[in-house]
Structure 1
Amino acid sequence: MRIVPSEISSRTRSAAERSVFAALKAIPDKESVALHSVHLPAHRYKRVGEIDFVVITPELILFIEVKGGGIAFRDGKWHYGRGDGRTETRTEGPFEQASSGMHELEREFRQAVDGLRGRDAVGGYLVVTPDVDLPPMTTYEPEHYLGSTAYAGGRGLEAAIRRAANHWRGKGKNRSALPTISAQLRGDIVKAIRPEFDLVPSLHARITDLEATFERLTTEQLEKLDELEDNPRLIWTGGAGTGKTFLAAEAARRSSARGTVLFTCASHTLAAHVAGVLSADSIVVLPFDRLDEVRGRRFDHLIVDEAQDLMGFGHLEKLEELVHGGLDGGHWIFMLDRNNQVLAPAGYDPEAWKYLRDIGAMNASLRRNCRNTKQIVKQVQRYTGADLGIPMAGQGEQVVFAKVTGREDEAAQLDRHLDRLLDDGVAARDVTLVSSSGDWDNTSARLTRRFSRIDRYADTIGAGKQRNRITWASVVDFKGLENQVVCLIDLDAEDLRGRLDAVYVAWTRARAHLWIAVLPGVNHALRELGVAALAREGAAE
């Protein structure tokens, strides 16, 4: 049976849930699908935490509640063993909990899925206690329950699901007259439920530990994660903002359930950033130039982010030695932005790309830009011609091009703009100054009145500090990263000549708002870039 997500979260501590997860996955049923609630520190809706599994078969939508450990019922109350010597006491029993959670969630997706409105798709619930057998009680019917003996380490789960389907479909109606749930309708139900069951913490929230917000994976990203189980070698391509790093980190976490994982990329800052997210013992995160630290080891899974920076045979040979089976026969994922092939061809070997593409079992593109507003996407495409995908972040403010006469004027205008942002309630940590020159000693930010309260982004990540202040980063250090507001400074005409990649990287770091200081000569250089982009576009047509 297909199960979403395909690997259980490392945060799921319950051995009983892990057992049921494995048992569902082992059922030889290609039509049905099960959804597991990924247990996170916070949930959007409490009911998500109350339904452990939803199984959608052609006959039934079955809600499964799992209770592990010891269970007792005394004086009208239920007592559940927690596995740490303590017990949890509740007045609501597992059958009432399963029933109430079923009705609440069922009502939700009946409204969300057109095919369920006015149709009698059958729903039911099943309580599973893998470790104990409950005595017969008036609170449940036998078909509502699967105890330890019948569960048999998971071998009895398939029969229990069939028995539950017969029971719930036969309650008060002619079973043969009830409609089945078509493959199309099952897919629609999965799409309606799955986002609630597969919330993944954003990189920003996990790194700073200042927010309890979570981002939903897009349907496109979820489909990519579903490929992990069936395809040992994957190549995922996409422009800036399509969620490659976010997706790579989640893929590493899921792969860690099946063995050791090496996550690498060219950037030290990005590697430090991802290391803060992926804290599992079985995952090693290192920048490429530190891979000698694991020389002689071989990992079960290799994940390479921003792989366009490493697209050469010398780099691939080094990676070959670090994964069981090598690149030809091992398990790996390469995430790359092919815009780099046009924007910075010097470090990109098309023959290496062809070799990797030929041995990759699945090559797929991410087409939805989840980071940048439509205004930012439009400006980047206008000046570079790069394909950023379909902007999904919605409307935002127009990109601000601030004409400045020199470095002192740039610093003064930057101060005024930062004042406006902070007065409007923007948090200082949500602002990053990205320097085109990357020269910390000579950046115009030093001339601002708030320079003493600006941190270098690479220093805050490397030291594991919480970011509570405005940060400064070079274009190189900020590659693969993002912030709500980006102010691009230290940009002169020379930086733009032959450096489309710098423009592309710098401008696409902003999620919501982009401010660019334009020194004399920069406007002309930008116009030249725009004309060149249009010429390339016309030639491509």
Structure 2
Amino acid sequence: MTTIIPPVISDYRYDGEREVALKIKQDPKTSDWIVLHSLDVSKHTSQVIGECDFVMIIPRKGVLCLEVKGCRSLSVENGTWYYGKRPVGDKRGPFKQAADNMHSIRVYLSSRNPDLGKLIFWSAVIFPFIPFKKTSLEWNDWQVIDRDSFNSRPVSQLFSNVLDQAEKLLSKKTGLKWFEKSSDAPKPELCQEILKILRPEFEFYQSPFHRRKKLSDNLKKYTSEQYTALDAMQTNPRVIFNGPAGTGKTILAIETARRMMIQKKRVLFLCFNKNISVWIKDQFEEEDLKYITVSTLHALMLKTADIKIEKGASSDFWTETLPSAAIEKLIRAEKAECWEYDYLVMDEAQDMLRENYIDFLDLLLQNGLKNGTWNFFGDFENQRIYSASKMDLDGFISRNCRNTSVYTLGINCRNTPRIAAYAHLLGGLDPDYKSVLRPDDNIRPELKFYESVEQQTQILSDLLEKIRSREKYKNHEIVILSPVADQCCARRIGSPWKQRLAPYSPVKTDSYISYCTVHAYKGLEAPVVIVTDIEEIRKGESINLLYISITRALSRLVILLNKTAQNDLKKILGV
């Protein structure tokens, strides 16, 4: 099957590019090709940034850079090209644009591996909707693919012919030290190396929220293992992604939902916490939410069962009464298909592995969990902190879907190396991260010890003064986390900070510094995290909560620890 990246062709912006990509995908003779769409050429030789519509890595042929002009009309006046009804012309023209992009890519690849510079690199221009019969010394006739040839011949022939003609031309030239004719270059393994070098230059995650705001500085490039994860989603109907905090599970979950939405699938996106559900919902455009339902599990159960929360509801209401009522409502529904979703995405899935929760989801998903299409994302070893979760990952697979693929994520793309090391040493993360993507910012996490409630509140006051006044962090960049709610240090702090702190709200404002329980902040992150009220680090639950707290921090981490836990700390650190 042809490797086309990004794979969701319907998401391509222009009609001409979609037509070309579809023809490539449908042509059986392109099955071993690698095709990269809309490559941003950041190392461009003549511009700050160039854009190559398609880069085709064709085994045993070479590399073809294709410029697509999907206009319905074309005119050239005094050397300036006018496409369709666009009033602004293009002085370079498509052939020079394609050639410049090609040379930039060749130079870049050669700098990474000199052997790649010996391959055939060439460019071509395609006009899929209009005839183009112009001739010029600026291009060779065989570098032009117009509507007539595009509709009458397989694209595998058209694009291969360009490289064949380029090889003939190069073979006639003398003095080309870089060109070495080879009948089998590039071999498949060399094609994969080219892909590995080029792919990070153009495939990245950008939430719809950031696209809407055009915050290009917030682009998050995928890690190499996330590329593989994205590919796995295309070929497997049911995949479980298992990885520790900070490995990009939520980003992948959002991207999964987005890709299914583009295909007009009804997507159910579930998580356990209200705060993270609000944040996730804000990552989608309003138009996207016509196809994507974002909800917490319990909120969806309440809506399905059409009941209100019992006054003073116990844990049994959430784990037994509510699930039973929701399941009964679905079973008795006259039009059960009205409740069904085409695709299920579940983030923080480890918190929702309970038999009656799973039975509820089974009724909501078209074809059920056994035969339906879904992706679960979770940290099934380290973040199971809710008593409602009674089933481990192996138990879920054995009970519901024995043929499900499990993909492991291990590269930390959230925390700095020093914070990731704290997650391993203090948070009990085992095995450790495979690697940490972010560079070291030389900011050391801090441990501060207290002997009394009063001393801890004073330490917190001093910290806030330092972080706000001297380190210049803004209020909304700071969050104070605690394993306890009512008796947390942030609630006991005195003036002037008492008036500047407020319970965490998904609606960000710079007016207040937020405080929150660790449980409610799961899945979220902040530049500065202060962890308070850590009384001991012996019990499994305490260590899990500390691990979750540590991994929320993007840059600055401070942990306030009771002095009685110093001996436990020394044992953990082996000192």
TM-score by length of 1: 0.85
- Separation in 2, partners of 1:47, 1:9: 29
Paired AA for residue 150 in structure 2: Y
Q: Are the equivalent residues in 2 in contact too, given 1:47–1:101 (CA < 8 A)?
A: no
Q: Does 1:271 align with 2:274?
A: no
Residue matched to 2:171: 173
Unmatched 5+ stretches in structure 2: 173-178, 305-329, 331-337
What is the deviation of 1:383?
3.4
Identity, % of aligned positions: 25
Residue matched to 1:73: 76
Residue matched to 1:538: none
- Separation in 2, partners of 1:371, 1:417: 23
- Separation in 1, partners of 2:213, 2:538: 32
Paired AA for residue 314 in structure 1: N
- Separation in 2, partners of 1:438, 1:66: 58
Q: 1:270 to 1:149 in 2, by over 3 A?
A: same
Q: Are the equivalent residues in 2 in contact too, given 1:265–1:306 (CA < 8 A)?
A: yes
Residue matched to 1:337: 379
Q: 1:157 to 1:447 in 2, by over 3 A?
A: farther
Q: 1:382 to 1:344 in 2, by over 3 A?
A: farther
- Separation in 1, partners of 2:364, 2:349: 16
- Separation in 2, partners of 1:64, 1:205: 29
- Aligned residue pair count: 518
Which of 488, 493, 505 in structure 1 is aligned with 2:531? Answer: 488
Paired AA for residue 196 in structure 1: E
Which of 390, 397, 416 in structure 1 is aligned with 2:434? Answer: 390
- Separation in 2, partners of 1:199, 1:484: 22
Residue matched to 2:220: 215
Q: 1:43 to 1:164 in 2, by over 3 A?
A: closer
Q: 1:456 to 1:37 in 2, by over 3 A?
A: farther
Paired AA for residue 32 in structure 2: E
Which of 401, 404, 421 in structure 1 is aligned with 2:467? Answer: 421
Q: Are the equivalent residues in 2 in contact too, given 1:208–1:466 (CA < 8 A)?
A: no
Q: After superposition, what is the alpha-carbon deviation per residue over 1:128-159, rounded to whole angstroms, capped at 9, x for unaligned?
A: 22222223231432221222222229x74222
Q: Are the equivalent residues in 2 in contact too, given 1:113–1:188 (CA < 8 A)?
A: no
Q: Are the equivalent residues in 1 in contact too, given 2:478–2:527 (CA < 8 A)?
A: yes
Q: Are the equivalent residues in 2 in contact too, given 1:405–1:519 (CA < 8 A)?
A: yes
Which of 489, 507, 516 in structure 1 is aligned with 2:550? Answer: 507
What is the deviation of 1:223?
0.9
Q: Does 1:314 align with 2:356?
A: yes
Q: 1:241 to 1:380 in 2, by over 3 A?
A: same
**Tell me, what secondary structure is at the counterpart of 1:106?**
helix
**Tell me, what secondary structure is at the counterpart of 1:53?**
strand
Q: 1:31 to 1:498 in 2, by over 3 A?
A: closer
What is the root-mean-square deviation in Å for CA atoms of aligned residues? Answer: 3.3
What is the deviation of 1:468?
7.5
Paired AA for residue 264 in structure 1: L
For 1:178-217, list aligned pairs within 5 A. Answer: 178=182, 180-201=185-206, 212-217=217-222
Q: After superposition, what is the alpha-carbon deviation per residue over 1:304-344, rounded to whole angstroms, capped at 9, x for unaligned?
A: 11100011221212222222221111111111112247766
Paired AA for residue 319 in structure 1: L
Q: 1:88 to 1:495 in 2, by over 3 A?
A: farther
What is the deviation of 1:48?
6.0
**Tell me, what secondary structure is at the counterpart of 1:328?**
helix
Unmatched 5+ stretches in structure 1: 535-541
Residue matched to 1:537: none
Q: 1:344 to 1:262 in 2, by over 3 A?
A: closer
Q: 1:73 to 1:209 in 2, by over 3 A?
A: closer
What is the deviation of 1:434?
1.6
Paired AA for residue 516 in structure 1: I
TM-score by length of 2: 0.81
Residue matched to 2:317: none
What is the deviation of 1:112?
1.8
For 1:123-522, list aligned pairs within 5 A. Answer: 123-138=121-136, 139-152=138-151, 156-173=154-171, 177-178=181-182, 180-201=185-206, 212-260=217-265, 261-279=267-285, 280=288, 281-292=290-301, 293=303, 296-340=338-382, 347-350=389-392, 352-355=395-398, 358-387=401-430, 388-392=432-436, 393-395=438-440, 396-422=442-468, 423-439=470-486, 443-444=490-491, 446-447=493-494, 449-460=496-507, 465=508, 470-493=513-536, 498-522=541-565
Q: 1:418 to 1:311 in 2, by over 3 A?
A: same
- Separation in 2, partners of 1:468, 1:246: 28
Q: Are the equivalent residues in 1 in contact too, given 2:118–2:180 (CA < 8 A)?
A: no
Q: Are the equivalent residues in 2 in contact too, given 1:207–1:277 (CA < 8 A)?
A: no
Residue matched to 1:54: 55
Paired AA for residue 147 in structure 2: S
For 1:78-117, list aligned pairs within 5 A. Answer: 78-81=81-84, 86-113=86-113, 115-116=115-116
- Separation in 1, partners of 2:268, 2:39: 23
Paired AA for residue 371 in structure 2: G
- Separation in 1, partners of 2:238, 2:159: 34
Q: After superposition, what is the alpha-carbon deviation per residue over 1:203-254, rounded to whole angstroms, capped at 9, x for unaligned?
A: 9967998773212111110111011221111111011111111221122222
Q: Are the equivalent residues in 2 in contact too, given 1:341–1:348 (CA < 8 A)?
A: no
Q: 1:383 to 1:442 in 2, by over 3 A?
A: closer
Paired AA for residue 73 in structure 1: V
Q: Does 1:64 align with 2:66?
A: yes
- Separation in 1, partners of 2:148, 2:216: 44
